[in-house]
Amino acid sequence: MRTYRMDEITKRAYEGPFIEEKDYDMKLMKRTRELVKEHNIVFDPKQVIPADDSMADDVFEAGMKILLELGFYCQTTKRAIMFEEWEVKKVLNSLPSAHVLGEGKDSVVMEMRRIEDPRPPVIHSGPTGTLCTEGEAYVKTLRSYAQEGAIDSVGAGTLATIDGFKIRKGTPQEFRAARMLARWARQAITDAGRPGMHINDVAVVSPEAKLCALDKANGIRPSDGLLVAQMIELKTSLSHLSLIEHLQSYGCHIGNLMTPILGGYAGGPEGTAIVNVAEHLAGAVAYSASYHYCSLTNVKNLNGTDRVGLWCISMVGQALSRNTDVMSIYDCYCAAGPGEEMLLREAAAGGVASSVSGMHLMGCGSCGGKLTDHATGLEARMLKEVGVAAAGMRRADANEFLNSWLPTYEGLLDISKAPKGKTFQELYDMNTAKPKKEWQDKYEKIASELAELGIEV
């Protein structure tokens, strides 16, 4: 491995302390709550973007303690993979400060960003796990992202069916879907005139199925990447570690996908921030990840664009950027759907919060990623352009902006109230894969509002 020997990690997966998964969950819940109190980490709804460096450092220290004390749980063997502090720090001290994504004229350099960093964030985009219709609709959906000059990477869509068959985990159809997702992504970026653009993932469940996407001619190339998931919270499996082994031999980028549940095992925003830092560290050590997707999800409303969600990701970003070279990406899950002004407002909030906190971007996952074909390139453009506009902004100014901006949509964040919008097919010209006037006009309206507040997109 680049950062740690896989043989040693596998050995520890078999020889580490045995613990039932439910007992591990209980230990994590208890210890997280203790650390929140010990470090006096407190969420303040008026300080959506905290400017307290000592609290960011406390979140990092607490996250390190969680990993060292509880370990990285292997669901296959029911044992905790344990690490010593010097081992984790050795890995952190060896991390590169930049990665080249994609190839040729379409490549981009993704650099480690810091708090209030004036360097613009990179955006990984795509349907973000949202179900899409197979075939032409999927190709055109990805093309809608790739045609946006501001967007740096595409992928991460998933399918409900392949050749009309429902896709189930571990079936031949899932393996076929992985292969076709990669081919269609390459077709989309080629049609958009950006054949060397970075493809960031094919969204299938089984780690084994993802191997079918590796194809230097028609699928995932070494210049591309695949995401390897952690299970909630701070868990892996031998199947996921085996995927890491093969991806490293293949030579592509590895993304550490984390889906921390705000309101789940880690508790509120304070505990969720601590545990997510631990998950980033586990991904650096055990997954040798180039980048880390922070797919924060509210247990109630399936979004990360409310005050608690934005505070949480800001704390994670600040904790990591102050203490490591771990490149974290804010995966912007929103409550509203495409065609709705609210979705653009949520994207703008996420872009400011993450950019100022030293993170890169991914998005957007509209409607919590639950509705088929509810994903377009336009909301991703908003996320990226606001992130660029916010680069270099002071945390205090970002906080002031969000306190004035959040009231424009936070009353509709309840999952039963958030407007669902329209499908890609309704909002885009299916010949050109460009937005129709209805959707483009709403983008311009929100862009004008942002400009009045000093955010030029």
- Band of pLDDT at residue 160, cut at 50, 70 and 90: confident
Q: Does residue 16 fall inside a structural domain?
A: no
Q: Which residues constitute the domain of residue 232?
A: 98-452
> Is the model's pLDDT at 302 over the cut of 80?
yes
Residue 180 lies in a domain: yes
User: What is the total count of domains within the chain?
Assistant: 1
Average pLDDT estimate for 237-266:
97
Mean pLDDT across 165-184: 96
Query: What residue has token string 């901006």?
Result: 405
Q: Are 182 and 145 in contact (CB under 8 A)?
A: no
Q: What is the CATH number of the domain that holds 158?
A: 3.20.20.460
pLDDT band at 4; cut points 50, 70, 90 = low
- Structural domain includes residue 354: yes
Identify whether 167 is part of a domain.
yes
Q: Chain-wide mean pLDDT for the chain?
A: 96
CA pair distance 107, 99, nearest whole angstrom:
10
Task: Answer whether residue 87 is part of any domain.
Answer: no
Structure tokens at 183: 């081919």
pLDDT over 50 (residue 3): no
Name the band, by pLDDT with cuts 50, 70 and 90, for residue 415. confident
Q: For residue range 306-330, what is the model confidence (pLDDT) as tens digits?
A: 999 999 999 999 999 999 999 999 9
pLDDT of residue 211: 97
Which pLDDT score is estimated for 157?
Answer: 87
Question: pLDDT grade, residue 129 (50/70/90)?
Answer: confident
Assign 301 a pLDDT band (cuts: 50, 70, 90): confident
Encode pLDDT of 367-384 as tens digits: 988 899 999 999 999 999
Domain contains 46? no
For residue 189, give the nearest of 239, 234, 255, 140 by alpha carbon.
Answer: 140
Residue 348 CA to residue 369 CA, distance in Å, equals 18
In this prediction the pTM is 0.97
On whether residue 36 sits in a domain, the answer given is no
Could you tell me if residue 75 is inside a domain? Answer: no
